[in-house]
Amino acid sequence: MYSDIWLWAGPFGGWHGMDSWWLFPLMGFWMVGYWLIFLGLAYLVYRDADSRGMNAPFWAVLMVIPWLGMISLMVYLIIRVDRPGFAALEILDERYAKGEITREQLEQMRLDLQRGSK
């Protein structure tokens, strides 16, 4: 009678080898690592979304939900936009166009910016 169970259950017993006691702690460690990875990604997405003026808590919550987090990370990386801003030379040109600075001041400030960037 028991020889039939051996053939049916395989060499490791029933439950496809999951009846061994040492596998349960390993599953717990993997789950903790899995959640730490998702929480770390949620923190990074939160900081990035906050710096870009997007809805940071919304994206962080989406990242914590595991499978939805993977999909939302891909969506976030595709749709994120840079913060609105102007380069220093564009600001100078705008100030010159408004008449706030003279041509000499414009040229001097451009030279200063070009020297500073080298």
What per-residue confidence (pLDDT) applies to 68?
79
Give the pLDDT of the chain (118 residues) as one tens digit per residue: 445 554 555 555 555 555 566 667 788 888 888 889 888 988 998 998 888 888 888 888 887 787 777 788 888 888 877 655 457 788 888 899 999 999 999 999 888 887 775 5
Enumerate the domain spans of the chain.
2-79
What per-residue confidence (pLDDT) applies to 104?
94
pTM for the structure as a whole: 0.46
Q: Tell me how far CA of residue 98 lies from CA of 76, 88, 89, 92, 103, in angstroms.
A: 38, 16, 14, 10, 12
Residues 107 and 93: beta-carbon distance below 8 Å = no
Handedness of CA 20, 25, 31, 34 (dihedral sign): negative
